[in-house]
Chains A and B, each alone.
Chain A
Amino acid sequence: MTAAQYAICLNGIVQREGLRWLQQRGRFVSALVRPLVWLAIFAAGFHFVLGVSIIPPYETYIPYEVYIAPGLLAMIQLFNGMQSSLSMVYDREMGSMKTLMISPFPRWYLLISKLLAGVAVSVVQAYIFLAIAWFWNIEPPLLGYLTVLPALVLSGLMLGALGLVLSSFIRQLENFAGVMNFVIFPMFFTSSALYPLWRVKEANLTVWWISEINPFTHAVELIRYAMYEKFNALSALIVLAYLVLFTVLAVIGYDPGRGLIARRVAAE
């Protein structure tokens, strides 16, 4: 296989992910409506309840809507990561995964391509959300729209890789509701998406610790800083570390010699 063929393969996987996203109207709409509901209803309700003091990267008092916007961006990516990876399992008893796995490219390359395809879709969704959120007065500096891109890519990769790990290791997650209850909600609520962590620390030290090691917290903070043209090095490092960890685990999970897929196929 030549480098050009590797590129063709990646391109094909990205295109398919994009086509599926466009053609599954429900997924497309819910991916946009979900964060907007949070923004329009939840944030409006809490607007007067929760005051956010001046914390970096913000340089002034900000309305609650502005505070949760980065968390909602990360939420789009979390949902997308789970959906695009787990769809490999749910698609007609692994049908689409088999199509992918019998491709004569190295399996790690196929998995990473799948990951990049999911990220491409989630980044587009994130920008559509940002465009609509502008009407809610979420107006980061113009350059912020550009500096947030690498943060979105990095956090999208990390959350997508987490989805891949789950799809290869966990057989009990029979449907998306299970993933919602046991992965998405716990990650979302024990993060800095909805409230600053110093408030959590005052309330409950254990939850604060969980939030501190929660990869989602650092995805949110990375995006939050990047939106305001700042770089949160600690969060970037932690997201990167989780990305490497999850990718290695996913490659192990899909290794033909380890028998993890074998177990799953046997259970069918």
Chain B
Amino acid sequence: MLDQPAPAPGQAVAAGSVAAPPGPPLQAAGLSHSFGPRRVLSDVGFTVNRGDFTVLLGLNGAGKTTLFALITRLYHARSGSISVFGHDIRRDPLAALARMGVVFQQPTLDLDLTVEQNLMYHASLHGMARRAAAPRVAAELERVGLWAQRREKVRQLSGGQRRRVELARALVHDPPLLLMDEPTVGLDIESRRFLLEHVRTLCREQGFAVLWATHLIDEAADDARVIVLHRGRVLAQGMVGEVAAGAGADTIRDAFDRLVRDDAAPAAA
């Protein structure tokens, strides 16, 4: 299969070899969705810019996974619009999908295939010929430290390693936009730290735009942008410091608690 040596660290190309046209990496406006009578998203709007590490913060059931399903066109929103680098997900889905890499909340690797086979399959789903895909697969596996395990079946890997494979896979086609839905759930502290640091570095050094959904507040560092989603509505968004200040709190944790509490109050009254 892949026998050429892995490239040296730092040799990987910058994000976005798929031509990134003008327009923000990700823009959602007036997004609403419901399952039957149950409304899961109401008038959600936000923008993720180049180089932004944007944390979508919300408790379980806030609507994060639904939002990801809409952005990745698993299904359409009842109303509102989503665009990726100016490509509307409904009118021009193929151009939009080509520019995003996704790590879903549930594992999506094929356990019976090897690490390398999983990544090559993904590359073919993006129309990449073997010759073009092989060095990209090697580069991404090297970057997450799993080149040596490329011929092992995914079933033999630990939870943390599987997550890293999923990240490598999401980046194989070199997308300038990375979507990660609760990627650290169920991981040990070390794997969590690795994943978070790795993606933040990609953002900082290579200009990736990242939307990182989580319910773990400490994943929103001070230099991150944050979108607070609660019961399907955006309660606040901006840089971590701005959101905290806007809620009259010192830390993002206090701000989140306050926003969620205030949001629940009128409903309880």
Task: Indicate if the CB atoms of A16 and B94 lie closer than 8 Å.
Answer: no
The reply on B110 being an interface residue by CB < 8 A is yes
Task: Indicate if the CB atoms of B104 and A98 lie closer than 8 Å.
Answer: yes
Contacts of B12 in A (CB 8 A): none
Partner of B113, one of A6, A9, A16, A257: A16
Contacts of B95 in A (CB 8 A): 104
Cα A21 to Cα B223 in complex, Å, equals 47
Task: Indicate if the CB atoms of B129 and A104 lie closer than 8 Å.
Answer: no
Cα A16 to Cα B125 in complex, Å, equals 11
Chain B residue nearest in CB terms to A14: B124
Per DSSP, chain A at the interface is helix
Cα A92 to Cα B35 in complex, Å, equals 22
Interface stretch of the complex, out of A71-79, A128-136, A220-228, A258-266 = A258-266
Chain B residue nearest in CB terms to A103: B125
Task: Indicate if the CB atoms of A4 and B125 lie closer than 8 Å.
Answer: no
Cα A103 to Cα B170 in complex, Å, equals 11
Partner of B117, one of A6, A16, A100: A16
Task: Indicate if the CB atoms of B69 and A95 lie closer than 8 Å.
Answer: no
A24-B112, A95-B104 known; A8+B124 contact, CB < 8 A:
yes
A20-B113, A23-B113, A98-B108 known; A11+B76 contact, CB < 8 A:
no
Contacts of A5 in B (CB 8 A): 127-128
Task: Indicate if the CB atoms of B98 and A92 lie closer than 8 Å.
Answer: no
Task: Indicate if the CB atoms of A103 and B108 lie closer than 8 Å.
Answer: no
Contacts of B107 in A (CB 8 A): 92, 95
Chain B 112-140, CB-CB to A under 8 Å as 1, else 0, gives 11000100111111111100000000000
Cα A93 to Cα B148 in complex, Å, equals 29
Partner of A103, one of B97, B106, B109: B97
Tell me the smallest distance from the CB of B142 to a CB of chain A, in Å. 22
The reply on A102 being an interface residue by CB < 8 A is yes
Task: Indicate if the CB atoms of A9 and B75 lie closer than 8 Å.
Answer: no
Task: Indicate if the CB atoms of A12 and B121 lie closer than 8 Å.
Answer: yes
Chain A 91-122, CB-CB to B under 8 Å as 1, else 0, gives 11111101111111110001000000000000
Chain A 236-268, CB-CB to B under 8 Å as 1, else 0, gives 000000000000000000001101011101100
The reply on B74 being an interface residue by CB < 8 A is yes
Cα A105 to Cα B107 in complex, Å, equals 22
The reply on B191 being an interface residue by CB < 8 A is no
Task: Indicate if the CB atoms of B35 and A266 lie closer than 8 Å.
Answer: yes
Task: Indicate if the CB atoms of B127 and A23 lie closer than 8 Å.
Answer: no
The reply on A207 being an interface residue by CB < 8 A is no
Contacts of A96 in B (CB 8 A): 108, 110
Tell me the smallest distance from the CB of A264 to a CB of chain B, in Å. 9
Task: Indicate if the CB atoms of B126 and A19 lie closer than 8 Å.
Answer: no
Task: Identify which of A4, A104, A257, A259 gathers the most chain B CB atoms within 10 Å of its CB.
Answer: A104
Task: Indicate if the CB atoms of A256 and B121 lie closer than 8 Å.
Answer: no
The reply on A13 being an interface residue by CB < 8 A is yes
Contacts of A95 in B (CB 8 A): 104, 106-109
A8-B124, A8-B127, A92-B107 known; A104+B113 contact, CB < 8 A:
no
Contacts of A233 in B (CB 8 A): none
Q: How many residues of A contact B (CB 8 A)?
A: 40
The reply on B72 being an interface residue by CB < 8 A is yes
A104-B97, A104-B98 known; A265+B124 contact, CB < 8 A:
no
Chain A residue nearest in CB terms to B123: A12
The reply on A170 being an interface residue by CB < 8 A is no
Contacts of A106 in B (CB 8 A): 94
Cα A164 to Cα B176 in complex, Å, equals 33
Cα A194 to Cα B125 in complex, Å, equals 41
Q: Tell me which residues from 20 to 36 in chain A have a Cβ below 8 Å from any Cβ of chain B.
A: 20, 23-24
The reply on A54 being an interface residue by CB < 8 A is no
The reply on A1 being an interface residue by CB < 8 A is yes
The reply on B220 being an interface residue by CB < 8 A is no
A23-B112, A95-B109 known; A256+B75 contact, CB < 8 A:
yes
Partner of B122, one of A4, A94, A99, A257: A99
A20-B110, A266-B35 known; A101+B104 contact, CB < 8 A:
no
Task: Indicate if the CB atoms of B74 and A98 lie closer than 8 Å.
Answer: yes
Hey, which bits of chain A sit against chain B, CB under 8 A?
A: 1-2, 4-6, 8-9, 11-13, 15-16, 19-20, 23-24, 91-96, 98-106, 110, 256-257, 259, 261-263, 265-266
Hey, which bits of chain B sit against chain A, CB under 8 A?
A: 35, 40, 65-66, 69, 72-76, 93-98, 100, 102, 104, 106-113, 117, 120-129, 153
List 19 A–B pairs whose Cβ atoms lie within 8 Å, in order of A's numbering. Answer: A6-B127, A8-B124, A9-B126, A12-B120, A12-B121, A12-B123, A15-B124, A95-B107, A95-B109, A98-B72, A99-B108, A102-B100, A103-B97, A103-B125, A104-B96, A105-B127, A110-B125, A259-B75, A263-B35
Using A8-B127, A259-B76 as known contacts, list a sample of 17 further A-B pairs with CB atoms less than 8 Å apart, ordered by residue number in A. Answer: A4-B129, A5-B127, A15-B124, A16-B113, A20-B112, A95-B106, A98-B106, A101-B72, A101-B74, A104-B94, A104-B95, A104-B96, A257-B76, A262-B69, A262-B74, A263-B35, A266-B35
